Amino acid sequence: MSLLQIQNVSKRFGGLAALTDVSYSVQKGEILGLIGPNGAGKTTLFNVVNGFYPPTKGEVLFKGESISHLQPFQICKRGVGRTFQVVRPLQRMTALDNVIASAFLRAKDKPGAEGIALDALQFTGLYEDRSLVSKGLPLGKRKKLEIARALATQPEMLLLDESFAGLNPFEQNELIDIIRKVKAKGITIMIIEHHMKVIMSLSDRVVVLNYGEKIAEGTPKEIGNNPLVIEAYLGEAESA
Amino acid sequence: MKRFLPLIILAILFILPLVGLSSYIMHILILVTMWSIIGMAWNLLGGYCGQVSFGHAAFFGMGAYTAGLLYYHLGLSAWWGLLVCIPVLGVFSLVIGFICLRLRGPYFALATLALGEVLRVTAENLVKFTQGDLGILIKQRTWVEKTWYFYVILLLAAGSFFLIKKVIESKLGYYFVAIREDQDAANSLGINTTLYKTIALCLSGVLTGVAGAFYMNYMGYIDPTTVFPLYDISIVTVMVVMVGGVATYWGPVIGALIMVFLAEVIRSVPKIGAAHQTLFGILLIFIIIFLPNGIVGDFRKMVGLFKPRGALK
Amino acid sequence: MAAQVELFLQTLISGFLLGGLYALIGLGMALIMGVMRIINLAHGDLMMVAMYVAYWLFTLFHIDPYLSVFVATPLLFFLGVGLQKFLINPVMKVESILPHNQVILTVGIGMVLTNLATVFFTSNYRSTPVSYASKAWYLTDYWKEAPIELSLSAPWSLSFLMAVIFTIALWFFLTKTDTGKSIRATAQDIDAAMLMGVNVGRMRVATFGIGAALVGGAGCLFIPIYYLYPTLGKQFTNIGFVITVLGGMGSTEGAIIGGLILGIFESMTATYLGMGWAPVGRFMIFVAALIFLPGGVASLLRKKRLGK
């Protein structure tokens, strides 16, 4: 069953075409990897799905209903959570407070929010750090905090934007585990990533963008052998 | 112990007038308390929610004129203003919010700055309605002694303090800070930023308006330059909170204390008299550079260096 | 009927000339806002300082204000540089809850400047009555059968002309010199500029200096046709940011067009509604721009250029 449907989405900024006629679906329960060279339009696509700007053309459907012209907070209420490429914690708040803030979306009161928040922190391995001010957390933990916050909104679908950038191998493995646990909970995931190994091992299916257009879609194996994809990445320093 | 601190201070303040203080000291206390309210109100919108207003005189003057016009046009006691200004300021804040809240950061500050000035000019020009520069004069003072005025403003201040505390500790408080820290991230987490910014603005506007209505009753006279001025009210409000400590409960109170005392001290030294604004300006510059989070704000930062603690409060 | 047309055209001309000067004020603020994202609330007060310089040069040494431009402008440049280097830059580095410390700092600076002027120069109104103050060129002098009479005041025209020259000089500076291009780069994208070796701190200092110089120049061009008192800074700061909002935050072309629009609008308001309503008229434009055209004129220009 298609949870998210991206139908002929184009996005122009003045004269610049950031996305051109992109179409694909994300099936419920799968992990879909979104890859492509820098500037291909991946984050723009996320921003369109997430509601930061409407598509110039085309539609985005979530659970069969159009979300193309909704505000980000409305889309979040419908069940789409999102993390950002450059992590944006609420800096002067503790990790716990950060997550409580987003837990209030579903909670009825503060104890309820706190409960959801503590669960999310436990889930992402941040329980011990819950009283630390998020500004002081190292990058790896801040990335986990991003995910914890998004999880506290109890989403059905999670958009992860380059969560692995800047992490060391140990942190990467931790994160892979967390993402697998998220999938096990039944949450659908769409993930933008440059780390090929991560994407290929995590994703059920992969979509490739280049210059704002979709150039390939398929299983990791199919994508790995696709000549168009290989050509698009020639010159990209990213290796497996 | 800490939980009861506000109540202890409140109790002390209650008993204070009975000790027998001069009329002048009472006046100072009343001013400090009134400025605490304005500061707390601004702090809610600016310190906690991150929307820095340079035009709070607009709300203050609006409240003062609500009370004054009730008296002038309808012959009612100006004290009714305290009640009436709640809906009036509520609606006013909604309108202002609709125009200004779509702006981010410094541009919001700009819009509010213009706002205060426009209200001043409007009050000056709509002579039939507001008596223009003549102002509004209440012929009979409610009380001769300052004591009862003090109790009224003290009650208002205590009410404001506890109301704001409740708000900040609730979901609203979390949402405000989330908006302050990163509006886009907050949006993505399901927070209707426009709605909550508006709520903050309305709360802030109403509280400031109530202080203004009190001012009308206490001073007995207002005119556009007294209640709508940019530097003497809008900017002082910002200074009160910045000096005392943004996003803290006691910051505005401490700030009000310091600012009022400073104003009086500087004004009473004969030589400096005319140059008191220069000294104010220099003080402001000094605070901004060395104590950007105010006295209460940076005090905690110093304590926090020794152990990592939550910084929400 | 002719009288109506005459009044309208005359108002239009006055507005246009005024707009040219306003554009200069707006340009300074737009530059500062574009590069540093701060609203300089001391902008008008810097102008006031320049006007006092011109006033004293005129009163004590009989130097024509149009010559004082060449003294006051560099002076204001250095004042601006000093303020940015020693006060504003340090504040921009400090970590604080509210990022508006820079704006509040400019408030403090403005307060000090205004009050010092009041203390030293008193609040008496001053002016520089130049010998050619009332000289004007009349349409009927050149076109005898003109159905209407239009006049062009000499000092106004001279001020406008110099404002245009300044603007062109600025354009050259921003587009043809290295420093100018670095400033524009910093305005567009600080991080990219830093990566390309632009010394951002120095650019900020230069920009504030230039912004101050521009508004200082505007002050000298204003004093022959206006009058001077310590607190006039406030209204010119207001004008500055109305233009900035109207023109589009941080856009230099927008500031020029915004200045002209505001000049014409104020002239019309003064003629047809009365002088007292000028501040209200300004706010009306301000609010209208905020609600209906949040990107300012610049956003219209951008759409045209990119062919939406």
How many folded domains does chain C comprise? Answer: 1
- Asked whether the beta carbons of residue C302 and residue A15 sit closer than 8 angstroms, the reply is no
Q: Are B201 and B89 in contact (CB under 8 A)?
A: no
Q: Are B237 and B39 in contact (CB under 8 A)?
A: yes
- Asked whether the beta carbons of residue B281 and residue C95 sit closer than 8 angstroms, the reply is no
Mean pLDDT of A75-102: 85
- Asked whether the beta carbons of residue A14 and residue C303 sit closer than 8 angstroms, the reply is yes
CA end-to-end span of chain C: 42
B&C contacts, CB < 8 Å: 125
At B228 the pLDDT is 86
- Asked whether the beta carbons of residue C39 and residue B121 sit closer than 8 angstroms, the reply is no
Pairing of strands A188-192, A157-161: parallel
Strand order in the sheet with A157-161: A80-82, A157-161, A188-192, A31-35, A205-210, A213-218
Mean pLDDT of C61-68: 85
- Asked whether the beta carbons of residue A15 and residue C303 sit closer than 8 angstroms, the reply is no
Q: Does C107 touch chain B (CB under 8 A)?
A: yes
Interface test with C, best of B289, B300, B301, B305 (most C CBs within 10 A): B289
Q: Is the pLDDT of residue A116 over 90?
A: yes
The alpha carbon of residue A225 is apart from the nearest alpha carbon of chain B, in Å, by 36
If you average pLDDT over every residue of chain C, what do you get?
A: 83
- Asked whether the beta carbons of residue C306 and residue A92 sit closer than 8 angstroms, the reply is no
Model pLDDT for residues B206-221, shown as the tens digit of each residue:
999 999 999 999 998 9
- Residue in chain B closest to C42 (alpha carbons) equals B281
* Confidence band, pLDDT 50/70/90 cuts, at residue A32: very high
- H/E segment holding residue B296: helix B294-304
State whether the Cα torsion C21-C23-C25-C31 is positive or negative: negative
Q: Are A40 and A162 in contact (CB under 8 A)?
A: no
Cα separation, C112 vs C114, in Å, equals 6
Q: Write the CA distances from B169 to A112, B28, B249, B254, C96, integer angstroms.
A: 14, 31, 11, 21, 22
Q: Residue B190: left (phi > 0), alpha (psi -120 to 50), or beta?
A: left
- B160, part of any domain: yes
Residues 6+ away with beta carbon under 8 Å from A230: none
Q: Please give the residue range of the domain that contains residue B58.
A: 26-229
Q: Residue B105: left (phi > 0), alpha (psi -120 to 50), or beta?
A: left
Cα separation, A181 vs A124, in Å, equals 9
Q: Please give the residue range of the domain that contains residue C203.
A: 2-306
- B175, part of any domain: yes
Pairing of strands A80-82, A65-66: unpaired
- B107, part of any domain: yes
- B203, part of any domain: yes
Model pLDDT for residues C109-138, shown as the tens digit of each residue:
998 998 888 888 888 888 877 777 777 888
Cα separation, A176 vs B11, in Å, equals 57
- Residue in chain A closest to C95 (alpha carbons) equals A92
Model pLDDT for residues B234-287, shown as the tens digit of each residue:
888 988 998 888 888 999 999 999 888 877 777 777 666 667 778 878 877 887
* Confidence band, pLDDT 50/70/90 cuts, at residue B312: very low
How many folded domains does chain B comprise? Answer: 1
- Asked whether the beta carbons of residue C306 and residue A15 sit closer than 8 angstroms, the reply is yes
- B77, part of any domain: yes
* Confidence band, pLDDT 50/70/90 cuts, at residue C292: confident
* Confidence band, pLDDT 50/70/90 cuts, at residue B313: very low
In sequence order, which ranges of A27-79 are alpha helices (DSSP H)? 42-50, 72-78
Q: Is the pLDDT of residue C21 over 80?
A: yes
- The pLDDT > 90 percentage for chain B reads 35
In chain C, which residues have their Cβ closer than 8 Å to the Cβ of A15? 306-308
Locate A3 and state its tokens.
Answer: 């949870």
Q: Which of C173, C159, C128 is nearest to C25 (CA)?
A: C159
For residue C162, give the CATH number of its domain. Answer: 1.10.3470
CA end-to-end span of chain A: 31
Q: Which residue type occupies B115?
A: L
Strand order in the sheet with A65-66: A16-27, A2-13, A57-62, A65-66
At B43 the pLDDT is 95
Of residues C281 and B167, which shows the higher confidence score? B167
Q: How far is CA B179 from the centre of its chain?
A: 21
Burial (CB count <10 Å: 0-12, 13-18, 19+), residue A154? middle
Cross-strand bridge partners of residue A157? A80, A188
Q: Does A94 touch chain B (CB under 8 A)?
A: yes
- Asked whether the beta carbons of residue B231 and residue C238 sit closer than 8 angstroms, the reply is no
At C231 the pLDDT is 85
* Confidence band, pLDDT 50/70/90 cuts, at residue B308: low
Q: Is the pLDDT of residue C304 over 50?
A: yes
In chain B, which residues have their Cβ closer than 8 Å to the Cβ of A91? 181
* Confidence band, pLDDT 50/70/90 cuts, at residue C44: very high
Mean pLDDT of A142-157: 92
Cα separation, C164 vs C158, in Å, equals 10
- Asked whether the beta carbons of residue B118 and residue C280 sit closer than 8 angstroms, the reply is yes
Model pLDDT for residues C151-178, shown as the tens digit of each residue:
888 888 888 888 888 888 888 888 888 8
Chains that touch B (3 or more CB pairs under 8 A): A, C
- Asked whether the beta carbons of residue A14 and residue C97 sit closer than 8 angstroms, the reply is no
In chain C, which residues have their Cβ closer than 8 Å to the Cβ of A16? 306
Q: Is the pLDDT of residue B196 over 70?
A: yes
Model pLDDT for residues C259-288, shown as the tens digit of each residue:
999 998 888 888 887 776 777 777 778 777
Q: Write the CA distances from C48 to A65, B232, C87, integer angstroms.
A: 60, 20, 20
* Confidence band, pLDDT 50/70/90 cuts, at residue A237: very low
The alpha carbon of residue A102 is apart from the nearest alpha carbon of chain B, in Å, by 6
State whether the Cα torsion A106-A111-A114-A119 is positive or negative: negative
At C306 the pLDDT is 59
Q: What is the largest CA-CA distance in chain C?
A: 69
The partner residue sitting opposite B308, judged by closest CB among A82, A97, A132, is A132
Model pLDDT for residues B24-45, shown as the tens digit of each residue:
888 999 999 999 999 999 999 9
Q: Are A147 and A156 in contact (CB under 8 A)?
A: no
User: Which residues 23-82 in chain C show a CB within 8 A of chain B?
Assistant: 37-39, 41
At B88 the pLDDT is 94
- Interface residues of A toward C, Cβ cutoff 8 Å, are 14-16, 92
CA end-to-end span of chain B: 17
* Confidence band, pLDDT 50/70/90 cuts, at residue B194: very high
E strand segments, chain B: 136-137, 221-222
Cα separation, C240 vs B53, in Å, equals 19
Q: Does B242 touch chain C (CB under 8 A)?
A: yes
In chain B, which residues have their Cβ closer than 8 Å to the Cβ of A134? none
At C184 the pLDDT is 79
In chain C, which residues have their Cβ closer than 8 Å to the Cβ of B180? 97
The dihedrals phi and psi of C3, each to the nearest 5 degrees, come to -65, -40
**A155-159, B117-121, B299-303, C178-182, range with the lowest pLDDT:** B299-303
- DSSP SS3 for A141: helix
- What's domain A1-79+156-240's superfamily in CATH? P-loop containing nucleotide triphosphate hydrolases (3.40.50.300)
- B9, part of any domain: no
A&C contacts, CB < 8 Å: 9
At A240 the pLDDT is 45
The alpha carbon of residue B286 is apart from the nearest alpha carbon of chain A, in Å, by 24
In chain C, which residues have their Cβ closer than 8 Å to the Cβ of A14? 302-303, 306, 308
Q: Exposure pattern of C117-129 as b/e (b: 16+ CB <10 Å)?
A: bbbebeeeebbbe
Cα separation, B168 vs B172, in Å, equals 6
Neighbours of C218 (CB within 10 A): 33
- Asked whether the beta carbons of residue C276 and residue B125 sit closer than 8 angstroms, the reply is yes
Q: Which residue type occupies B145?
A: E
- H/E segment holding residue A22: strand A16-27
In chain B, which residues have their Cβ closer than 8 Å to the Cβ of A110? 169-171
Interface test with B, best of C107, C242, C266, C291 (most B CBs within 10 A): C107
- The pLDDT > 90 percentage for chain A reads 47
- Asked whether the beta carbons of residue A101 and residue B185 sit closer than 8 angstroms, the reply is no
Chains that touch A (3 or more CB pairs under 8 A): B, C
Per DSSP, A59 falls in state E
- DSSP SS3 for A189: strand
In chain A, which residues have their Cβ closer than 8 Å to the Cβ of C298? none
Q: Are B239 and B39 in contact (CB under 8 A)?
A: no
Pairing of strands A57-62, A65-66: antiparallel
Q: Does B304 touch chain C (CB under 8 A)?
A: no
- Residue in chain C closest to B229 (alpha carbons) equals C234
The dihedrals phi and psi of C191, each to the nearest 5 degrees, come to -65, -45
- Asked whether the beta carbons of residue B312 and residue A102 sit closer than 8 angstroms, the reply is no
Q: Is the pLDDT of residue A238 over 70?
A: no
Pairing of strands A2-13, B221-222: unpaired
Model pLDDT for residues C197-208, shown as the tens digit of each residue:
778 778 888 889
- Residue in chain B closest to C101 (alpha carbons) equals B288
Of residues C297 and C228, which shows the higher confidence score? C228
- Asked whether the beta carbons of residue C105 and residue B285 sit closer than 8 angstroms, the reply is yes
Chains that touch C (3 or more CB pairs under 8 A): A, B
Cα separation, B157 vs B29, in Å, equals 12
- Asked whether the beta carbons of residue B281 and residue C241 sit closer than 8 angstroms, the reply is no
Pairing of strands B136-137, B221-222: antiparallel
If you average pLDDT over every residue of chain A, what do you get?
A: 88
- Residue in chain B closest to C88 (alpha carbons) equals B289
